[in-house]
């Protein structure tokens, strides 16, 4: 039998003291410190037991450890011990249950002496019982007995750790539903029992706190949010409440399980986790400030004030289940109020069972009834679900058929709450576990549905309790024997007996800490002479004597530097650091020494001081001096190619800091950005090799080893303020040489972007020097054209607020942190720099070109946000001789439910027609010679006559919003929708002739080749499906993406897909295989394009980057990055000579490839790299949702949230 208790653990202040920020040493009583694991039973390295979770010490004291001048005071409630449970989740999803008691205890004398902590000081300490069983009550009872036994005046009959050892080692878990285990803690008798396995899961908690904190409506709203797997943040100033409410709501969704991040009590320093985009349930103390976090879409539940707020609407529970659920909860919670009109003596059995016990205090029966109320609700909304379980290769559950059946029975349209629930991971996990299958008879949900169908009592599905459980007694033979009746009393919680090895290690740590504080006393400044030249007798010395003389000289300089450094740190607020004796002498030692002993010795001196326990905080005056000295030391070391000193200086600069006016740490490293060495790839390659050699555990996975060291490199790059693209180029190069795989590259890209965002979110973007660009950037035909001068480019600072992290779903919010922010000089039109073949650099076009007229027009007509734009091309209207006037038209759709046709050739009167017919937002538009086709959220596809703008047909059949439409030859239309279907329609007969594909999730993108009949479609199921429509068969299921597929492009035998997993993939249609994974973006791939001329690929992402890829020795490599845009790339359209791009920040760009480069390589050795940025228009402040381009006429049109279309007509003549 398994044991009830896995561990007894003590956490608090250990021999190595660090603040929450990682600073070593004691910094006073107003600072919070990291908790350490002090003692445990069973002891560490025990052969039979796994170690406790590594995060345990941090989680049991969520606020950290604080020092106090006094201990427990019966008159001061703030000093009282606190008892609370926490739940930890391991990587496999299993839970660890911990009961905690936090209290103030004496600081150990040896620790106080080593760190010079005042005598008789106190600090937070926490004792914990750890278990795999959710037996919250017995965990708390046992722990409180141990705590009381320790501090009681009567003491215990044997040493406390013997009592703990007996309880942990001997108390076994009883057989569920059969046994009751009796045991004692010293002289107190306790028992533990577990309910039967075939009943409701073991929940050893009271559900009363949940219903006391939230009213009925908010309880149902929280239940719905959990069921739909939203991001949920519970707030309270009571630790116990956060854990109990989290556990209770997880039990109410039985038989479904919470599948995502679960942290009922989040430690304070982990508050940034709240910005994670994936579903989670977390509890956070209400005293922790979250004002700097985005909180977009988070369901915030204030348990203290019965308040729930969220920026995303939670769909309501459908009727009639909502009314039934609410009524049953009201009967349970307020039986006297609900039954106030009923007679006290009923006729027959009319009185409800909930009303008869109206005055009874809350107990286990109430818990059971509340859980069954929610189980009956789930049984009702999922009535008959077992008939729709298919379990075939393509799907597990036929969601659409189930929703149809429910709609018919309720006479209501499909309910969004149930639709979302059926797509949740919890429901899929439930089906995959085998629940719902006929052979599974242990599922209470199925049994309850069967009982309801047979008109049986719902509670009859629970197992009948045994009349008598078998009692198992755990005897403690040592009670009263140890010490022959002596009592053991304690004034503090005792430490367990340490081994010799543990005691020796503790002494070493404390000795190091004590020595670090006395560092300045041991190293007094000395005054050795500075060697100014050769000694006259030096030439007569032997090599050994010269080596000894040099060693003395090095030691002389280092000793002098140590004294000067310590005196420099004592500069006062009135001292001028740059004119002080200390600064001048150190500077002379660094500059006058040709061998670099002064510079390397200065950096080594700082490093030793940091290692000794120095806090690394500088005053404003000290900061100025240290910054300038480090700059000089690095510059001199760079000139000598002394990369070891540069490397050490980089590391110490990341430790030293000052506090700014907002009490934010400003590190020295940020002020070293101007040094040119950081732009050198060779330095970072050498530093990476150094980190790799220094890593002690070489047995680990090589890819993980490389990734870990590259994270260190990325952290330093971000701390220096290196531009995101420059830093990523160097990291990508190093990663590529070590072949770590695209998954690790994606993680690195995300990490670099994340820390770069945090840096510029407060400090802004470093102002780098850029080559000036021509205002109308056609490349000069002269190869020797040069730029005479350099001028600094203006950059815009980013506001002092946190931007969305790399986990963000709202990708447009983070674009500014991924790209350069530039202001261009031209008023009417301007360019961004051209790109070279080097993926991190941008070549700039030469001046001297003729200024060409540009034109921007604002097209007004829509009254709601523009959601889709379609450009009528010559190809789709078969304009062979240029006689079609509609070629070049733009057609737009909007949230105002209208479709509008625009003719750019009519300046001032561009609006040709407005077509009304949809009842909800228009999402997709296509056209041919005669028709315009539009798809909408109203689940219809409308066909319009392009000439008369009259509505021809209304195609109905989709059961969710239409996402894509495409006109085909032969009066056919293809449409895809969020109901997971792709349908082909015959416009002449107004009928659906075929449902081409069915998918388990929404279809978000679609491509069709009319010449071959091949269809490619993808979406939320993360699979790209290839169909041969003419043969009526599924050719391939292209699997590999880990998140939604947002974009797809098919050209010939090649399919390219872009996904939320930050990768694009290239596939072969004929073989159904993935030919390449294109990773390196820092966000969702929103659009992909294939360049026919050079067989290159262009990808655009929410990170604002445009990347050009080409084949290279059988693989695909990125040959160019474009950082012109600051917003998500929404559209890429490649033609023979021109490439149009539009982004969400209302920026557009036009690229050109000269005629002479077609079929050849560019000057940089690449084909795709031959695209040159021709020009961009002046950007205006607007948020764009869609973009389309007409490359034949050099026009790009964007649609904004404000309902305006912005048409850019470059009017270029080449």
Categorize the per-residue pLDDT at 810 as very low, low, confident or very high, splitting at 50, 70 and 90: very low
CATH of domain 1-154+496-514: 3.30.450
pLDDT value, residue 818: 29
How far apart, in Å, are the Cα atoms of 1146 and each of 271, 834, 896, 1053?
34, 20, 21, 34
CB atoms within 10 A of CB 668: 24
Asked whether the beta carbons of 931 and 967 are under 8 A apart, the reply is: yes
Residues 1170-1209 have pLDDT tens digits of 788 877 777 666 678 899 988 888 888 998 888 889 888 8
pLDDT value, residue 770: 35
Categorize the per-residue pLDDT at 882 as very low, low, confident or very high, splitting at 50, 70 and 90: low
Which token pair is 958? 């989709």
pLDDT greater than 90 at residue 336: no
Q: What is the mean pLDDT of residues 194-215?
A: 91
Categorize the per-residue pLDDT at 1166 as very low, low, confident or very high, splitting at 50, 70 and 90: low
d(CA 1201, CA 867): 8
The tokens 């947002």 sit on which residue? 1046
CATH of domain 818-835+858-877+886-905+1037-1214: 2.130.10.10
1081, with CB counted inside 10 A (0-12, 13-18, 19+), is: buried
Percent of the chain exceeding pLDDT 70 equals 81
Residues 301-330 have pLDDT tens digits of 999 999 999 988 899 999 889 999 999 999
pLDDT greater than 70 at residue 1158: no
Who wins on pLDDT, 516 or 12?
A: 12
Q: What is the mean pLDDT of the chain?
A: 80
Q: What is the mean pLDDT of residues 861-880?
A: 84
DSSP label of 47: T
Categorize the per-residue pLDDT at 1 as very low, low, confident or very high, splitting at 50, 70 and 90: low
pLDDT value, residue 1200: 86
* Sequence-separated (6 or more) residues with CB below 8 Å from residue 675: 631, 634, 635, 638
The tokens 């479904």 sit on which residue? 256
Radius of gyration of the chain (CA): 36
Could you please report the per-residue DSSP string of 64-123? -B-EES----TT-GGGS-EEEEEEEE-TTS-EEEEEEEEEEEEPPHHHHHHTTPPTT-EE
pLDDT greater than 50 at residue 802: no
Edge to edge, what strands does the sheet with 1073-1079 contain? 1045-1051, 1054-1059, 1063-1068, 1073-1079
Q: Which of 211-225, 508-522, 705-719, 1106-1120 has the lowest mean pLDDT?
A: 508-522
* Sequence-separated (6 or more) residues with CB below 8 Å from residue 485: 157
- Phi first, then psi, for residue 737 (nearest 5°) are -70, -20
Who wins on pLDDT, 999 or 348?
A: 999
pLDDT value, residue 235: 96
Categorize the per-residue pLDDT at 129 as very low, low, confident or very high, splitting at 50, 70 and 90: very high
Asked whether the beta carbons of 794 and 822 are under 8 A apart, the reply is: yes
pLDDT value, residue 544: 64
Who wins on pLDDT, 700 or 1001?
A: 1001
| CATH 1.10.287 for domain 917-1017 | no
B/e letters for 244-264, b = 16+ CB within 10 Å, e = fewer, are: bbbbbbbbbbbbbbbbbebbb
Q: What are residue 984's DSSP bridge partners?
A: 974, 994
How far apart, in Å, are the Cα atoms of 1104 and each of 277, 813, 819, 1134?
19, 11, 6, 18
Which token pair is 224? 């719905």
Categorize the per-residue pLDDT at 81 as very low, low, confident or very high, splitting at 50, 70 and 90: very high
Residues 951-982 have pLDDT tens digits of 989 999 999 999 999 998 878 899 999 998 99
What ranges in 541-619 are assigned the alpha helix state H?
Answer: 543-568, 581-592, 597-611
pLDDT greater than 70 at residue 1111: yes
Residues 757-792 have pLDDT tens digits of 676 666 665 544 333 333 223 333 333 333 333 333
Sketch the domain layout of the chain as residue ranges: 1-154+496-514, 527-533+541-769, 818-835+858-877+886-905+1037-1214, 917-1017
Asked whether the beta carbons of 873 and 887 are under 8 A apart, the reply is: yes
B/e letters for 207-218, b = 16+ CB within 10 Å, e = fewer, are: bbbbbebbebeb
Asked whether the beta carbons of 248 and 209 are under 8 A apart, the reply is: yes
How far apart, in Å, are the Cα atoms of 333 and each of 225, 329, 343, 357, 785?
22, 6, 19, 11, 83
Who wins on pLDDT, 716 or 748?
A: 716
How far apart, in Å, are the Cα atoms of 944 and each of 680, 873, 900, 969, 1159?
60, 18, 11, 16, 42
Asked whether the beta carbons of 129 and 101 are under 8 A apart, the reply is: no
485, with CB counted inside 10 A (0-12, 13-18, 19+), is: exposed
Report whether the peptide linkage leading into residue 484 is cis, meaning its omega lies within 30 degrees of zero.
no
Residues 1032-1051 have pLDDT tens digits of 888 999 998 988 999 999 99
pLDDT value, residue 111: 92
How far apart, in Å, are the Cα atoms of 144 and each of 64, 85, 129, 140, 1171?
22, 12, 10, 6, 73
* Sequence-separated (6 or more) residues with CB below 8 Å from residue 928: 876, 877, 967
DSSP label of 1029: T
pLDDT value, residue 1165: 52
C-alpha distance across the termini of the chain, in Å: 84
H/E element, 14: none
DSSP label of 1088: E
Q: Counting every residue, how long is the chain?
A: 1214
- Phi first, then psi, for residue 715 (nearest 5°) are -65, -45
3-state helix, strand, coil in the chain (%, to 5): 30, 25, 45
Residues 452-495 have pLDDT tens digits of 888 888 888 888 766 677 888 887 766 544 445 568 889 899 99
Q: What is the mean pLDDT of residues 783-807?
A: 31
Q: What is the mean pLDDT of residues 1059-1075?
A: 89
Residues 831-869 have pLDDT tens digits of 333 333 344 444 333 333 334 445 688 899 998 889 999
pLDDT value, residue 845: 38
């Amino acid at each position: 039998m398994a044991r009830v208790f896995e561990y007894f653990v003590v956490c608090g202040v250990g021999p190595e003291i660090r603040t929450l920020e990682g600073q070593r040493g004691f910094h006073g009583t107003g600072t919070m410190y990291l908790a350490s694991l002090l003692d445990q039973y069973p002891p560490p390295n025990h052969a039979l037991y796994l170690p406790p979770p590594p995060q345990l010490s941090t989680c049991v004291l969520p606020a950290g450890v604080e020092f106090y001048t006094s201990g427990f005071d019966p008159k001061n409630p703030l000093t009282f011990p606190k008892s609370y449970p926490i739940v930890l989740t391991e990587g496999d999803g299993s839970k660890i249950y911990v009961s905690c008691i936090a209290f103030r205890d004496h600081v150990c004398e040896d620790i106080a002496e080593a760190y010079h902590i005042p005598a008789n000081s106190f600090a937070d300490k926490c004792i914990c019982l750890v278990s795999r069983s959710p037996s919250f009550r017995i965990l708390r009872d046992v722990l409180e007995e141990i705590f009381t036994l320790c501090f009681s005046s009567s003491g215990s009959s044997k040493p406390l750790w013997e009592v703990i050892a007996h309880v942990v080692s001997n108390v076994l878990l009883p057989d569920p539903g059969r046994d009751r285990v009796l045991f004692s803690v010293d002289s107190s008798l306790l028992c533990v029992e577990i309910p039967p396995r075939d009943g409701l899961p073991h929940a050893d908690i009271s559900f009363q706190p949940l219903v006391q904190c939230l009213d009925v409506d908010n309880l149902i709203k929280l239940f719905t949010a959990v069921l739909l797997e939203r991001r949920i943040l519970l707030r309270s100033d009571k630790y116990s409440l956060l854990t109990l409410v989290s556990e209770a709501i997880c039990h109410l969704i039985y038989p479904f399980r919470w599948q995502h991040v679960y942290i009922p009590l989040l430690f304070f320093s982990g508050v940034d986790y709240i910005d994670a985009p994936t579903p989670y349930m977390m509890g956070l103390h209400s005293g922790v400030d979250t004002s700097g976090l985005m909180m977009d879409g988070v369901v915030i539940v204030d348990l203290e004030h019965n308040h729930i707020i969220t920026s995303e609407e939670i769909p309501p529970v459908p009727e009639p289940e909502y009314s039934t659920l609410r009524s049953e909860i009201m009967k349970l919670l307020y039986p006297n109020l609900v039954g106030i009109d009923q007679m006290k003596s009923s006729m027959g059995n009319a009185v409800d069972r909930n009303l008869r016990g109206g005055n009874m205090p809350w107990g286990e029966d109430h818990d059971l009834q509340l859980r069954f109320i929610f189980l009956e609700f789930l049984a009702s909304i999922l009535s008959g679900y077992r008939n729709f379980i298919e379990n075939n290769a393509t799907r597990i559950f036929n969601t659409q058929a189930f929703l149809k059946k429910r709609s018919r029975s309720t006479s209501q349209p499909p309910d969004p709450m149930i639709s979302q629930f059926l797509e949740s991971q919890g429901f899929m996990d439930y089906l995959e576990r085998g629940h719902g299958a006929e052979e599974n008879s242990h599922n209470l949900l199925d049994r309850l549905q069967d009982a309801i169908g047979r008109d049986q009592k719902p509670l009859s599905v629970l197992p009948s309790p045994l009349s008598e459980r078998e009692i198992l007694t755990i005897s403690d033979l040592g009670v009263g024997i140890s010490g022959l009746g002596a009592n053991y009393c304690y004034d503090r919680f005792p430490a367990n007996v340490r081994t010799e090895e543990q005691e020796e290690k503790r002494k070493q740590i404390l000795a190091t800490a004590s020595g670090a504080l006395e560092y300045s006393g041991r190293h007094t400044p000395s005054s050795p002479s500075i060697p100014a030249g050769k000694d006259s007798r030096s030439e007569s010395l032997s090599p050994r004597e010269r080596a000894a003389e040099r060693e003395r000289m090095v030691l002389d300089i280092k000793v002098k530097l140590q004294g000067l450094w310590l005196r420099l740190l004592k500069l006062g607020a009135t001292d001028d650091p740059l004119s002080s004796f200390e600064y001048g002498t150190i500077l002379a030692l660094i500059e006058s020494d040709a061998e670099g002993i002064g510079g390397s010795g200065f950096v080594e001196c700082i490093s030793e001081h940091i290692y000794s326990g120095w806090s690394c905080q500088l005053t404003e005056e000290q900061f100025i001096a240290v910054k300038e000295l480090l700059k000089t030391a690095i510059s001199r070391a760079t000139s000598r190619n002394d990369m070891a000193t540069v490397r050490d200086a980089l590391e110490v600069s990341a430790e030293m800091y000052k506090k700014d006016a907002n009490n934010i740490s400003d590190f020295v490293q940020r002020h070293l950005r101007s040094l040119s060495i950081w732009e050198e790839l060779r330095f970072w390659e050498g530093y990476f090799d150094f980190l790799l050699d220094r890593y002690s555990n070489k047995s680990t996975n090589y890819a993980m080893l490389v990734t870990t060291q590259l994270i260190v490199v990325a952290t330093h790059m971000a701390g220096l303020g290196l531009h995101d693209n420059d830093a990523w180029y160097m990291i990508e190069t190093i990663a590529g040489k070590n072949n770590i795989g695209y998954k690790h590259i994606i993680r690195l890209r995300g990490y670099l972007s994340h820390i770069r965002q945090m840096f510029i979110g407060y400090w802004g973007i470093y102002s780098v020097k850029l080559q000036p660009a021509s205002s109308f950037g056609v490349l000069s035909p002269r190869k020797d054209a040069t730029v005479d001068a350099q001028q600094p480019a203006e950059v815009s600072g980013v506001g002092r607020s946190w931007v969305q992290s790399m986990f963000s779903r709202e990708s447009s919010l983070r674009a500014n942190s991924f790209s350069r922010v530039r202001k261009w000089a031209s008023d009417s039109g301007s360019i961004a720099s051209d790109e070279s073949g080097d993926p991190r650099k941008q070549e700039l076009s030469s001046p001297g070109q003729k200024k060409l007229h540009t034109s921007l027009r604002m097209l007004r007509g829509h009254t709601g946000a523009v959601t889709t734009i379609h450009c009528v091309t010559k190809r789709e209207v078969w304009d062979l001789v240029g006689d079609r006037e509609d070629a070049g038209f733009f057609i737009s759709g909007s949230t105002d439910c209208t479709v509008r046709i625009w003719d750019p050739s009519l300046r001032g009167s561009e609006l040709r027609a407005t077509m009304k017919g949809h009842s909800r937002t228009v999402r997709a538009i296509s056209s041919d010679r005669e028709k315009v086709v539009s798809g909408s959220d109203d689940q219809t596809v409308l066909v319009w006559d392009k000439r008369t703008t009259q509505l021809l047909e209304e195609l109905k059949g989709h059961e969710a919003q239409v996402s894509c439409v495409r006109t085909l030859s032969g009066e056919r239309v293809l449409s895809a929708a969020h109901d997971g279907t792709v349908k082909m329609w015959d416009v002449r007969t107004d009928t659906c002739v075929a449902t081409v594909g069915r998918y388990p999730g929404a279809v978000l993108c679609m491509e069709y080749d009319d010449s071959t009949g091949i269809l490619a479609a993808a979406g939320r199921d993360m699979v790209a499906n290839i169909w041969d429509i003419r043969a009526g068969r599924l050719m391939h299921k292209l699997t590999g993406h880990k998140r939604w597929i947002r974009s797809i492009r098919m050209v010939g035998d090649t399919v390219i897909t872009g996904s939320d997993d930050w990768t694009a993939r290239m596939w072969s249609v004929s073989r159904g295989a993935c030919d390449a994974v294109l990773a390196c973006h820092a966000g969702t791939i929103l659009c992909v394009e294939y360049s026919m001329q050079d067989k290159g690929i262009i990808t655009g992402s929410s990170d604002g980057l445009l990347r050009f890829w080409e084949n290279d020795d059988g693989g695909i490599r990125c040959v160019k990055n474009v950082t012109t845009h600051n917003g998500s790339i929404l559209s890429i359209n490649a033609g023979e000579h021109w490439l149009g791009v539009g982004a969400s920040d209302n920026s557009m760009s036009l690229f050109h490839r000269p005629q002479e480069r077609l079929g050849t390589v560019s000057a940089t050795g690449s084909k795709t790299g031959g695209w040159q940025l021709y020009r961009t228009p002046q950007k205006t402040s607007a948020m764009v949702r869609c973009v389309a381009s007409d490359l034949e006429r050099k026009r790009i049109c964007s649609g904004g949230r404000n309902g305006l279309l912005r048409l850019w007509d470059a009017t270029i003549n080449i």
